[in-house]
Amino acid sequence: MKRTFKVALIGCGVISKNHLAALSKIDCAEVVALCDVKKEKAEARATEFGIDCKIYTDYIKMLDESTPDAVHVCTPHYLHAPMTLEALRRDIFVFLEKPTCISQGELAELIEAEKRSRASVCVCFQNRFSPSVIKALRLAREDGGARSGYASVFWDRGEKYYTESGWRGSYATEGGGVMINQAIHAIDLLCVFLGAPKALKAKISNYHLEGIIEVEDSCDGIVYHGDDKTSSFYATTAARGVNSTVVYMVTENHKIEVRNYKLFVDGAPVETDEHENYIGKACYGNGHDALIDLFYEAVSSGDSMPVTLENSRAALDLLLAAYRSEGKLVEIGN
């Protein structure tokens, strides 16, 4: 019989809801502690999900006192690496929201810390586990693999989005703009379908929030994945009234499109097991449930994590290279 895992969560903002909803469906996970620097946010989430647990404002104290088996890190990007390092030092498994971290130096540090720990990290690229993406990948593989593709990300993010949560909009705390935050799932899927990026050319711009954010609101580029495979992308938060994400792949005989959480092949909709009652945005689908489930399976069995630190690298490499590129070719080496 599976043992019950004690679970803690840090950062009770927008996305914590998806995590707590998924955890409420997992029998072997018991939420024992919630932490937010704003105590009332942690208390509100506990009430909303009917969780009887301890509330903390200091995550170190929480890790030491509640001794969880696993912790979900749902905090601003610049805190991902330090919080994960503290958990790994205590042999606590980590379910880490995207992006893994905000620099290659941090990623290297995490990988080293994981080697020294009895615990490991799963990175939340939940869209890889949506039924549409799983089916799209299978179709692509059956047709010899994707040869080229594109991602387009059109979101609407105005000034309020950045002023509401102060960590957004700065390199120090968000690590970048649309690429590291909104486009990262689509960018990750380009790499899942076409392979890790070898080089790219990209340009970033801030079209509509100059003086309000220092990071990019838009980015476009072309990516070379090796073996003659290329992709291109355009991502913006300067669109109005829309929140749509498309990942489009060309195989020998087909054109495969994942539009938000829906799948289209050669233009026609394809049935998947995806259900409509996702929490949050259409482009997230229900991937959180699936991936969090797989995370606890891995914690329980000792198997490798469904998204390891190492295989979260491609998206981070790609977007950090886009930030450096200024329209010129940047090689992406390991």
Ligand X SMILES: NC(=O)c1ccc[n+]([C@@H]2O[C@H](COP(=O)([O-])OP(=O)(O)OC[C@H]3O[C@@H](n4cnc5c(N)ncnc54)[C@H](O)[C@@H]3O)[C@@H](O)[C@H]2O)c1
Among candidates 116, 8, 105, which has minimal Cα distance to 62?
8
- Residues in contact with 85: Cβ distance below 8 Å, sequence separation at least 6, in sequence order: 109, 110, 113
| Rounded Cα–Cα distance for residues 70 and 53 (Å) | 15
Sole binder of ligand X in the list 2, 14, 61, 105 (CB under 6 A): 14
Axis-axis angle for helices 16-23, 39-48 (nearest 10): 40
Least distance in angstroms from the C-beta of 182 to ligand X: 9
Contact track, ligand X, 19-38, x by CB under 6 A: ----------------xxxx
Q: Which residues contact 11 (CB under 8 A, 6 or more apart)?
A: 35, 36, 73, 74, 75, 76, 79, 97
Q: Which residues contact 68 (CB under 8 A, 6 or more apart)?
A: 5, 6, 7, 8, 32, 33, 62, 92
Q: What is the C-alpha to C-alpha distance for residues 18 and 286, in angstroms, rounded to an integer?
A: 9
> How near is the Cβ of 236 to ligand X at its closest, in Å?
17
For ligand X, the nearest residue by Cβ is 13
The DSSP annotation for 57-85 comes to: S-HHHHHHHH--SEEEE-S-GGGHHHHHH
Binding mask 219-258 for ligand X (x = CB under 6 A): ----------------------------------------
Maximum C-alpha span of the chain: 57
CB 32 within 8 A of CB 53: yes
For ligand X, give the closer residue by CB, 15 or 179: 15
Is the CB of 8 or the CB of 250 nearer to ligand X?
8
Here's the x/- map for ligand X, 263-302, by CB under 6 A: it reads as ---------------------x------------------
Task: Candidates 8, 122, 124, 133: give the one binding ligand X (CB under 6 A).
Answer: 124
Residue with Cβ nearer ligand X (176 or 221): 176
Q: Does residue 16 contact residue 71 with C-beta atoms inside 8 Å?
A: no
* Cβ closest to ligand X, residue 185 vs residue 201: 185
Least spacing, CB of residue 300 vs ligand X, in Å: 22
First to last CA, the chain: 42
The window from 5-13, 142-150, 269-277, 306-314 that contacts ligand X (CB under 6 A) reads 5-13
Name the residue nearer to ligand X (CB basis): 77 or 262. Answer: 77
Is residue 95 within 8 Å of residue 74, measured between CB atoms? Answer: no
Quick note: the x/- pattern for ligand X over 68-107, rule CB under 6 A, is ------xxxx-x-----------------xx---------
Q: Give dist(CA 35, CA 74) in Å, integer.
A: 10
62 lines the binding site for ligand X (CB under 6 A): no
Nearer to ligand X, 224 or 287 (CB): 287
Contact set for ligand X, span 158-217 (CB under 6 A) = 165, 181
Residues at the interface with ligand X (CB under 6 A)? 10-15, 35-38, 41, 59, 74-77, 79, 97-98, 124, 126, 165, 181, 284
